[in-house]
Chains A and B, each alone.
Chain A
Amino acid sequence: MERTVLTKIVDDFNASQSDWRVMIEQFPQAAYNDSVVAAALSGELPDILDVDGPIMPNWAWAGYLAPLTIDPDVLEGFLPGVIGTWNDKIYSVGFWDAALAMFARKSVLEANGIRVPTLDEPWTGEEFDEILVTLKDTGEYDYPLNIGMADKGEWYPYAFPPYLWSSGGDLVNRETYQTAEEALNSDAAIKWGEWWQSLFERDLVPGPSQRLADHQNGFAEGKYALNWTGNWLALSSLETYGDDLLFLPAPDFGEGGKIGAGSWQFAVSATSAHQDGANAFIEFALKDEYFAAFSDGIGPIPPTREAAAMSEYYAAGAPMEVFDELSERQGTLRPVTPGYVVQSLVFQKAIADIANGANVVTALDTAVDEINADIQNNAGYGHN
C-alpha cells in the first residue's frame, strides 16, 4: 500500500515538471539500515533516502545527509515528531508519525471499577500499578498488561523509555549529550528500574521469553487486559473489539505522560549530484492529500491537522482521532544525537537484563559507562 501511494506521488511529480525523474528502489526493513550503510561506505547512495527518525542524526553527522533546502514555512503546523532537526538544521521530514497508546477495553475497566484516564488526567504511576494488581487479581488474564518483550529490537528503545522519561530519567543528559551519568543512573532512573523489575517479579507483564505470537494476538485473544502498543495495531484491534476499545494516554510517573515520537522520514543524501531535484521532490510531496492517502493506505498518523481532517481514520469523530492529540501532547523524541544508535542498543540490553533479574543499579551503571565511553570515543559526536 505504501508503495502504491509513493508510486502515485512519484508519477505526479514526474508528470508535473520535466527537469527531474524520480525512481523508487526498495529493501526489506530489517536489512534497510545495513543496505544504506553499505551503500554509503562504497559511495553509492541514492539521491533520496528513507531514514528512521532517531537514526537521522547519526547519518547526518557521518556526512551521508545534506540539510534540506525546503522552505521552513511549508513545515508550519506539522507534528513535532516528523521534522528531523540536527544541530539546528532540518535534515529529514516525515509524511506521517506513529504513536503509542495503552489499548484497553471499556467493559474491562468498568467491571473492575477502573477510571478511564484522559490526556489532562492520565493515570498516575501509583494508580497504574494498582490497576495492574487489580486486573491480575481477577485471575481472568494470563497477564494484566502486554508490553511486547517478545519484540526484541528497536521496539525496546521506542516503547520503554517513555516510562523512564516520565519518571525523570533519560538515556543521556539532553542538555549536553556528553554524558549519561545522573540521567540513566540517577535516583529517579534507579527508582524506575526497580519498578520495572517488579513488574516481572510480580508477573504483571510477560517476560523476555514471551512468544511473538502471544505478543501479536494475545490482546485480541483476551490473554492480556491491557496492551501497550502503537497506532499501527489500532485497526486490527478495532475490528476485534469495536466500540469497546479505548486508546488511553501513557501513565504519568511524575514528569507527565510520554510516548515516543518520530518515525520513518525522507532525507537527501550528501553525495547526491541532484540535491535540487531531490529537495524539489520532497517539497512537492508535502501535500495534505498525500499525507491523507498514506494514512488511509497504511494507517499512520498524518503530520498536519488538515491532512488528519481529510483522512479516513483520524478525522473528527473517526475511531483513531485520539492518536493525533496523543502525538501532539505526549509525543517525545528519542535523544537527538548520533550516539543514539549505540545508546539504544545499550538501553535494550540494560532493560532486558533488569527484566531478567539483574541488579538494577549495576545494570544502569554499566549502561552509563558504556554510553559515556562511546561518546568519548567519538569526540562528543559533534554537538553544536
Chain B
Amino acid sequence: MAVSGSRLLSSNRAGWTMAAPAFGLILLFIILPFTLAFGLSFTNQRLFSPNPTQWVGMANFDQLLGVSALTLEPERDDAGEIVRDDAGAPTYPRLRGYTRNNPDYPNLVGKQEWFSFQYGESRTYVLASDVVFMKALINTFIFVLVVAPLQGGIALLLALMVNQKLRGINVFRAVYFMPVVVSIVVVSLLWRFIYAGDNGLLNNVLGWVTFGAFQPVDWLGNPDTALPAIIAMSIWQAVGFHMVIWLAGLQTISPTLYEAANIEGATRFQAFRYVTWPGLRNTAVLVLIVITMQAFALFAQIDVMTKGGPLDSTQTMVFQAVERGYRKQDIAAGSVISVILFLIVLSISLIQRYLTREKT
C-alpha cells in the first residue's frame, strides 16, 4: 500500500502533469462551485444585493422541506348534521382560516395544501411550506423511474437490432444516433410544434390514423399529458446515445461464445439470456447510472417547452434551482435545491452500486 501510494504521488510526475489540466478544470468548475453551493445553502446569499450575507443555519432547508398534517372534521349545522355540498360530499372549513393570520396554528403559517385524503368522516390535509418544490421533487422521481428502465431497455433493443451484419446497417445506426447530436434546445423547440394543440404533427397523425375519430389533445397545455409528453420526447432524444454504449458492450462479447452456444443447441433467447446478458453486466451498470444521473438533471426540455407549467405538472428540481437561484436572484434557495439533489443522486448511485456489486 505504502509503495503504491508513493508511486502515485512522487515517482509519477509526468502522469500528474498530464492530468493537471483536467484536474484543474474539474476543481474550478465542479468541486469549487459545489463547495460554494453547500456553504451558501446555509446563508441568505442573493445574486446581488447591498445587504450583507447572513448565516441562517437550516432555515432554508426548513422552508423548502417543511410539511405538516392537519385533520379537519366536517362542518356541521346547528342540528349537528354534516353540511354537504351539491354532490353530497361533506364540506370542510377553508384551510385559509388556519394557514393565514391564525395565532392558534403557528406551525401552519405560510403553508399550502399539497394533497389530502379522507379517513372516515374527517379529512386529513398534508400541507407543505413549498408545494412547488414538493411537486418538482415528485415529478423528477416520476421522470427518473419511467425514463431509466424504458430508455435503457429500448436502447438495448435497438443495439441488438443494429448489431447485425447487414448491408446498410450503418445507416440505421446513424439515424438512431442523430437526435443525440442535435442540441436538446433545438429538439425541444421542434417537439413543441409536434405537440402543438391545434394542428400539431402528432394530433394530425393520430387523427389521420383513426380516420378523424381522435380528438386533438393539447399535449403540453394539459396537466395530465404534459409530463408524459416530455418523458416520451426525452427518451427518444437520448436513446441513441445509450444504444451506442450497449453496442460497444455487445461487440466485446466473443463470437466463440455464441458459436459454442449454437453447438450446444441453444435457442436465440437462451443465447441472449446466458451469453449476451452476462456479458453486458458492466455495460448495464454504466448505462443505468448514466441515465439516472442525466434524468435527475432534467432542465432544458422544461425550460423550452413548458416552463414548469401547466399547474406545476412539469416542475423539476433543476428547473426550480435555476428559476430561484438565477431568475429570482435567490442564490441561497437555488443552492439548497442543488445540495438536496446532490444528496439524492449520491444515495441512489450508492444503492445502485451496492445492488449491482460483484458478488464473490
Residues of A whose CB lies within 8 Å of any CB of B are: 37, 40-41, 61-64, 152, 207-209, 211, 341-342, 345, 349, 352-353, 356-358, 361-362, 365-366, 369, 373-374, 377-379, 382
Contact = CB atoms under 8 A, between A and B. Distances in A.
B44, B51, B197: residue with the most chain A Cβ atoms closer than 10 Å = B51
A252 B99 CA distance: 33
B261 interface: no
A63 B311 contact: no
Interface in B271-327: 307-312, 323, 327
A200 to B, nearest CB: 11
A171 B327 CA distance: 18
Q: Which 7 A-B pairs have the closest CB atoms?
A: A209-B221, A356-B310, A62-B48, A209-B197, A369-B110, A342-B328, A209-B218
A98 B266 CA distance: 77
A369 B63 CA distance: 12
Nearest to A64: B48
B309 A373 contact: no
Nearest to A341: B329
Given A37-B48, A356-B311, A377-B44, A211 B112 contact: no
Nearest to A153: B307
Most buried by A among B63, B223, B310: B310
Contacts of B50: 61-63, 382
Nearest to B48: A62
Given A208-B309, A352-B310, A356-B310, 6 more contacts: A40-B48, A341-B329, A356-B221, A361-B96, A365-B96, A378-B49
Contact of B47 (A37, A64, A366): A37
B242 interface: no
Contacts of B328: 341-342, 345, 374
24 contacts: A37-B47, A41-B47, A61-B50, A62-B49, A62-B50, A152-B307, A208-B221, A341-B329, A345-B328, A352-B309, A352-B310, A353-B310, A353-B312, A356-B221, A356-B223, A356-B309, A356-B311, A361-B96, A365-B96, A365-B112, A373-B110, A374-B330, A379-B51, A382-B50
B311 A357 contact: yes
A365 B63 CA distance: 16
Contacts of A361: 96
B76 to A, nearest CB: 23
- Main SS of the interface on chain A? helix
Contacts of A357: 311
B220 interface: yes
Contacts of A362: 112-113
Interface string B206-224: 0000000000001011010
B112 A378 contact: no
Contacts, number: 68
Contact of A358 (B100, B110, B221, B311): B311
A358 B312 CA distance: 10
A131 to B, nearest CB: 25
B75 to A, nearest CB: 17
Interface in B308-360: 308-312, 323, 327-330
A357 B51 CA distance: 38
A366 B311 CA distance: 13
Interface of B: 44, 46-51, 63, 96, 99-100, 110, 112-113, 131, 196-198, 218, 220-221, 223, 307-312, 323, 327-330
Contacts of A374: 328, 330
A338 to B, nearest CB: 9
Contacts of B112: 362, 365-366, 369
A341 B197 CA distance: 31
Contacts of A365: 96, 99-100, 112
Contacts of B47: 37, 41
B198 A211 contact: yes
B314 to A, nearest CB: 12
B51 A378 contact: yes
A342 B327 CA distance: 8
Nearest to A58: B329
A353 B307 CA distance: 12
Contacts of B46: 377-378
A358 B310 CA distance: 10
Contacts of B51: 378-379
A323 to B, nearest CB: 31
Nearest to A366: B112
A53 B48 CA distance: 19
B55 to A, nearest CB: 14
Nearest to A382: B50
A382 B131 CA distance: 29
A366 B131 contact: yes
A207 B221 contact: yes
B227 to A, nearest CB: 14
A185 B209 CA distance: 48
A211 B196 contact: yes
B269 to A, nearest CB: 46
Contacts of A379: 51
Contacts of B330: 342, 374, 377
A211 B312 CA distance: 20
A30 to B, nearest CB: 13
Nearest to A353: B311
A369 B196 CA distance: 34
A41 B46 CA distance: 12
Contacts of B327: 345
A211 B131 CA distance: 29
Contacts of A342: 328-330
A301 B113 CA distance: 46
A120 B113 CA distance: 45
B126 to A, nearest CB: 14
A41 B45 CA distance: 14
A208 B196 CA distance: 12
Contacts of A345: 323, 327-328
Contacts of B49: 62, 378
B202 to A, nearest CB: 14
A378 B51 CA distance: 7
A61 B51 CA distance: 10
A181 B20 CA distance: 55
A382 B327 CA distance: 20
Nearest to A355: B310
A342 B49 CA distance: 13
Contacts of A152: 307
Contacts of B223: 356
A125 B312 CA distance: 30
B6 to A, nearest CB: 43
Contacts of A62: 48-50
